[in-house]
Amino acid sequence: MTIPQKKANYSQAKKSAEELLNKYNILSPAVPVITIAEGEGLTIRTISLAKFRTPGKPVCAAFLINESTIFIEDTDSHERQRFSIAHEIGHACLHPEELRSSPGLGIVYRAPIGGETDPYEQEANCFAANLLVPRKMLCYWYEKTQNQNQLSEIFGVSPEVIGFRLINEKLALQ
């Protein structure tokens, strides 16, 4: 079954991420993404996802909604795994019905954070970026460090995710 195309709803993705941060009273980085996943009834499994790979499309995560399980590639960096978990939590919050009707939506192929064209993937990426690097925390730490690598360490995400968030929040490193 093909999911009808739609336009990404970034404001809903950001709002959903903020609601989870508030629900778990998370006020400082690094956001405990595994605690959030487990609190939402999701199980995290770190395994080899080689069987899902196709040439030119490496897989970094898979989400089986009927089993409430997120599978994360075991060879990925800690930062990549955190982002993949947050991305799949985003699908669980934003797209539960779509995942039930089209399970392929839950397979995440590696792509640059700003390079997605599918609106469901764009929403899940937006959710993940806002969950792991919330605006208020980013602004606070940006003022203190103004260093992308330090921000990456503080938030437990890749420098690319920090760069993406800085651009989206219209902040710029000197």
Domains and CATH numbers, the chain: 10-133 (1.10.10.2910)
DSSP secondary structure code for residue 72 in this structure: E
pTM for this structure?
0.86
Residue 134 has pLDDT above 60, yes or no: yes
- Which three-class secondary structure state does DSSP give residue 89? helix
* pLDDT at site 2: 47
Q: Please answer whether residues 172 and 166 qualify as being in contact, where contact means their C-beta atoms are separated by less than 8 angstroms.
A: yes
Going by pLDDT thresholds of 50, 70 and 90, the confidence category of residue 20 is very high
pLDDT > 90 in the chain, percent:
59
- Cα 101 to Cα 99: distance, rounded to the nearest angstrom: 5
pLDDT tens for 80-104 read: 999 999 999 999 999 887 767 765 5
pLDDT tens for 147-166 read: 999 999 999 999 999 999 99
Q: Please answer whether residues 44 and 36 qualify as being in contact, where contact means their C-beta atoms are separated by less than 8 angstroms.
A: no
Q: Please answer whether residues 131 and 138 qualify as being in contact, where contact means their C-beta atoms are separated by less than 8 angstroms.
A: no
